[in-house]
Chain A
Amino acid sequence: MHGFLTRAVCAAALFALAALPVAQAQSNPSNVASVSLTATKKENLSLSGVTASASLVSASGIADSSTANDFTPISVTTNWNLKTSTSVTLVGYFADPANALVNGANAITSAQVEGKLSTDPVGSYAAFTGPAVGTAGVAGATHSFWNQAVSGATLKSNRTDVLNLRLNMTNAYAVAGDYTGTLNLRAIAQ
């Protein structure tokens, strides 16, 4: 009788224990370790998509005593992302005002090369005779295509322009031959 009772109690106890839910363990976190992250976005001013070369549109070559010496258009995109500047300027310049385009010993001066934005009227053509703008350009051989004020949201922007160039050979003539030169384009933030 005693053995039966013991077995019955043990069975009941095991049954009750089996019915217990599994213990729910709580999480136990460690200390917090920290990693400092820093990333810097620097100021940027660049030109892209610049047309690599341009030549006279006219197949008959340079027209003496005329302004009808248009070059094929030049495309340029100016990109900037600035912080404290107030304006952006696109300038074009020749390294040597006396020798913008040369043909051996013969030269076309920067004063005889004119430029404008394609969106400006023909009357806006101006020679490459201006001063440098800041550190961009060469004195007497520079032309500013545009100057744009920037602030707030426009401190980060871009614009694409088409530049028109021509030779102004009014009261001048060119010795026959191929004239070549390099026009430098540069943007400057001030």
Chain B
Amino acid sequence: MLALRRGLPVLLAGLALGWGSAEAEAQAGATPGPVQVITLASARINSLSVTIAAGSVQSIPSLTDNAVNDFPTPVTIQTQWDVNPGQVNSISLVAYFTTPSQALAGGTVQIPSSRVLGRMTTGLPTTYTPFTQAALAGVGTAGGSLVLFSDNIIGTNKGILTRTDNLALQLNLAGFPDLPVGTYSGTLNIRAVAQ
């Protein structure tokens, strides 16, 4: 009750200022809407990091045209966070290529991200899915991304937590023009984002 009494003058002052502002604009002849108070808050995190525990170098030694080519081993990704439910709604993991039209670049022919497929059986793309999704919360690139998981932060997964997932990758060359001889290389970026 004491706190309420101390806060009342502040609330009154704020309300008075808001009303005063609305009245001033009305006198100027405009037709103002109600005063909007927008509170901007950043998702507060203590820590959020992504580590490639295994498979950071993926290689297909001999591509086969017009077929699905598996990268031999999965990428093991560890996502660690330390957040609280009241400050963060969710943690998402996004994998993306910087330039969707050139996910793997060769000499004269490029392999687009739509031909790279990812599967995370413990996440969202439980079947092989192309990297053609939009960016998420500013992370990723339009048409070159794949959201791997999105966890709502609740009481059970707050605090310091590490999640480990395996991302399997494929190149789908079915229906793609035969590739010229050469080496095709690219970088898959993986990033977590708190919202």
Interface set, chain A 27-67, CB cutoff 8 A to B: 27-44
A10 CA / B89 CA spacing, docked (Å): 30
Interface set, chain B 40-68, CB cutoff 8 A to A: 40-45, 48-52, 55-63, 65
Is the pair B51, A35 in contact by a Cβ cutoff of 8 Å? no
Minimum Cβ distance to chain B for residue A58 (Å) = 42
Is the pair B69, A39 in contact by a Cβ cutoff of 8 Å? yes
Is the pair B59, A25 in contact by a Cβ cutoff of 8 Å? no
Minimum Cβ distance to chain A for residue B111 (Å) = 8
What's the interface size class on B, roughly?
35 or more
Interface string of A5-19 (1 = CB under 8 A from B): 010011011001001
Interface string of A96-119 (1 = CB under 8 A from B): 000000000000000000000000
A83 CA / B38 CA spacing, docked (Å): 62
In the complex, A1 has a CB within 8 A of chain B? no
A-B contact pairs, 9 of them (CB 8 A): A21-B38, A23-B39, A25-B88, A25-B195, A26-B40, A35-B75, A37-B116, A40-B182, A40-B184
When distances are taken between beta carbons in the complex, the residues of chain A under 8 Å from B103 are 37
Minimum Cβ distance to chain A for residue B32 (Å) = 15
Interface string of B152-195 (1 = CB under 8 A from A): 00000000000000000101000000111111111111111111
Is the pair A27, B49 in contact by a Cβ cutoff of 8 Å? no
Closest residue of A by beta carbon distance from B97: A37
What's the interface size class on A, roughly?
35 or more
Is the pair A31, B185 in contact by a Cβ cutoff of 8 Å? no
Interface set, chain B 56-92, CB cutoff 8 A to A: 56-63, 65, 69, 71, 75, 77, 79, 88-89
Is the pair B193, A155 in contact by a Cβ cutoff of 8 Å? no
A88 CA / B181 CA spacing, docked (Å): 16
Number of A-B pairs, beta carbon distance below 8 Å: 172
Is the pair B55, A35 in contact by a Cβ cutoff of 8 Å? yes
In the complex, A72 has a CB within 8 A of chain B? no
In the complex, A176 has a CB within 8 A of chain B? no
Is the pair A23, B41 in contact by a Cβ cutoff of 8 Å? yes
| Cβ 8 A contact of B187, one of A19, A21, A36, A41 | A36
In the complex, A75 has a CB within 8 A of chain B? no
Is the pair A24, B190 in contact by a Cβ cutoff of 8 Å? no
Residue ranges of A at the interface with B (Cβ–Cβ < 8 Å): 6, 9-10, 12-13, 16, 19-21, 23-44, 81-83, 155-156
Closest residue of B by beta carbon distance from A9: B8
Closest residue of A by beta carbon distance from B41: A23
Interface string of B5-22 (1 = CB under 8 A from A): 000100110110010000
Closest residue of A by beta carbon distance from B169: A37
When distances are taken between beta carbons in the complex, the residues of chain A under 8 Å from B2 are none
A6 CA / B4 CA spacing, docked (Å): 10
| Cβ 8 A contact of B179, one of A27, A36, A37, A41 | A41
| A30, A44, A81, A155: most-surrounded residue (chain B CB, <10 A) | A30
A180 CA / B184 CA spacing, docked (Å): 48
